[in-house]
Amino acid sequence: DEDSCSQGIIGGATDEDPDLDDDGCLNSEDDDDDGDGVLDVDEVFGCTDSEAVNFDEYATEEDGTCIYTITYDLSYHSGANLVSYFVSPVQDGPFTIENHLVSLFEDGNLYNVLGEENAAQLINGSFWAGSLIEIAPTDGYWIKIYDADDITLVAYPNSEQLVYTLHEGSNLISFSESEAYYLSDVLPDNIAGTSIYSVLSETEAALYMNGQWFGALNALEGFKGYWFKTYDAVEFSFEISDDLSR
């Protein structure tokens, strides 16, 4: 009847403009704007790529929300390495030392992880002890391994930009990108020298004097750990743009 075809045309269907929902009238409920055979009113938006980690088998329309893991190949020398992990191999839940970090290395090779204020130690090769349980994306760590090791980290990208909250003094932190960028390019101008005055890596250092950085450390790299020394507490994010790189 006419009420069942509100603001439409009773009948009125043609080969070019068919009555897709077979209700006997032509209206907006017959629209299939993308021609995929699913009516606009029935479209389910989501990730339609089966290769993505958040693939939705019920989605009929791609909405650009697909998430893909990224694979990183990392190498470490024997002894102490100053490292960080700005991305996690765990999508939902904590990135723990015992359940996740250890499994990236050869069996029994990783035996000590030290953060800025706490640590974890492998005891008798069988269990982990200490107050350091989880790996934080903004923190740096000293890890100790018996032998040189190459690991493969399959990680999920961060959904938001990392924000670093530093206290006065020495802070052990990560760098939030996988590639290397010049220190002077990625530190906000308003904190270089005024709040942050020195940066130290495992083997190099930089000191801010007279409006510029001096020292052998001129770039920051992903998966490395850094000591940032500050005059006062400060909160910031690294400034990364597409046209920057070392």
Tens of pLDDT, residues 115-172: 999 999 999 999 999 999 999 999 999 999 999 999 999 999 888 899 999 999 999 9
Q: Say if CB 215 and CB 184 are below 8 A apart.
A: no
Handedness of CA 181, 182, 187, 188 (dihedral sign): negative
Mean pLDDT value of segment 201-229: 96
CA distances from 77 to 29, 101, 238, 242 (A): 64, 16, 27, 31
Tens of pLDDT, residues 15-65: 444 444 555 554 444 455 555 555 655 677 788 878 787 778 777 677 787
**Using 50, 70 and 90 to split pLDDT, how confident is the model at 212?**
very high
Residue 7 or residue 159, greater confidence: 159
User: What is the pTM assigned to this prediction?
Assistant: 0.77
End-to-end Cα distance, the chain: 70
Tens of pLDDT, residues 53-102: 777 877 767 778 788 899 999 999 999 999 999 999 998 899 999 999 99
Q: Which residues contact 36 (CB under 8 A, 6 or more apart)?
A: 60, 61
Q: Say if CB 237 and CB 161 are below 8 A apart.
A: yes
Q: Say if CB 134 and CB 94 are below 8 A apart.
A: yes
